[in-house]
């Protein structure tokens, strides 16, 4: 197993300093610092959380509390790509749960939702705030895919399996009569 060096580069330190400078209290920069750590290490191990705490000079318990509260921070080693499908009311009524089940079957997911190839995992998401274009999913905490179908899921899985970039999906206004 590869040994991980839990340090930030000077560029990462500079980015964190920019976030610290935005707030009157450096604890407010914990979320962007956690993002930087998660991007670098793939997940937030106890060592990564400690690095964020030391970098911000704030208590480990505070950083851990933030990281453990939010589901977008991964507290265990996970596959590289995540497909989170909304199963809340609007998306659920339009097939969100069925599409989640389909996705898990397509990637041959284990009980944690991790696919057999080790690259993709799937899980349910709470409301993603795109009820008018549901069912919807969020891809690895970044882009949304709207108006999901099995065909869209198949395309996403294919692209993610090949580590292809998922393009940002432009959604037209629901009411074209609304203008700027």
In a domain, 115, yes or no: yes
Same-domain check for residues 62 and 131: no
Average pLDDT over residues 149-159: 95
Mean pLDDT over each residue of the chain, to the nearest integer: 91
User: The CATH number of the domain where 60 resides is what?
Assistant: 1.10.10.1590
Question: Do 95 and 61 reside in the same domain of the chain?
Answer: no
DSSP 111-154: TTSB-TTSSEEEEEES--S-GGG-S-EEETTTEEE-S--HHHHH
Question: For the chain, how many residues are written?
Answer: 180
98 & 151 share domain: yes
Residue 30 lies in a domain: yes
The model's pLDDT over 17-76, given as tens digits with 9 standing for 90+, comes to 999 999 999 999 999 999 999 999 999 999 999 999 999 999 999 999 999 999 889 999
* Residue 178 belongs to some domain of the structure: no
Q: What is the pLDDT of residue 126?
A: 87
Number of domains the chain contains = 2
Q: What is the mean pLDDT of residues 121-131?
A: 93
167 lies in some domain:
no
Q: For residue 180, is it within any domain?
A: no
Q: Is residue 3 part of a domain?
A: no
pLDDT of residue 141: 84
> Looking at the domain assignment, is residue 172 inside a domain?
no
List the domain range (segments joined by +) for residue 57.
10-69
Q: Is 96 in contact with 134 (CB distance < 8 Å)?
A: yes
CATH label of the domain that carries residue 154: 3.40.30.10
Average pLDDT over residues 151-180: 76
* pLDDT attached to residue 175: 47
């Amino acid at each position: 197993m590869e040994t991980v060096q839990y340090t930030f580069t000077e560029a990462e330190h500079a980015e964190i300093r920019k976030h610290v400078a935005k707030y009157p209290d450096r604890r407010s920069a914990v979320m962007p610092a956690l993002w930087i750590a998660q991007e670098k290490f793939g997940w937030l191990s106890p060592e990564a959380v400690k690095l964020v705490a030391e970098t911000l000079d704030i208590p480990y318990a505070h950083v851990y509390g933030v990281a453990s509260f939010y589901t977008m921070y991964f507290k265990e080693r996970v596959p590289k790509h995540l497909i989170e499908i909304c199963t809340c009311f609007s998306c659920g009524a339009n097939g969100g749960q069925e599409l989640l089940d389909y996705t898990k079957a397509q990637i041959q997911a284990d009980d944690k939702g991790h696919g057999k190839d080790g690259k993709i995992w799937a899980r349910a998401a709470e409301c993603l705030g795109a009820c008018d274009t549901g069912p919807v999913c969020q891809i690895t905490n970044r882009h949304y895919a709207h108006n999901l179908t099995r065909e869209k899921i198949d395309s996403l899985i294919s692209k993610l399996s090949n580590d292809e970039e998922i393009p940002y999906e432009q959604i037209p206004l629901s009411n074209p009569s609304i203008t700027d």
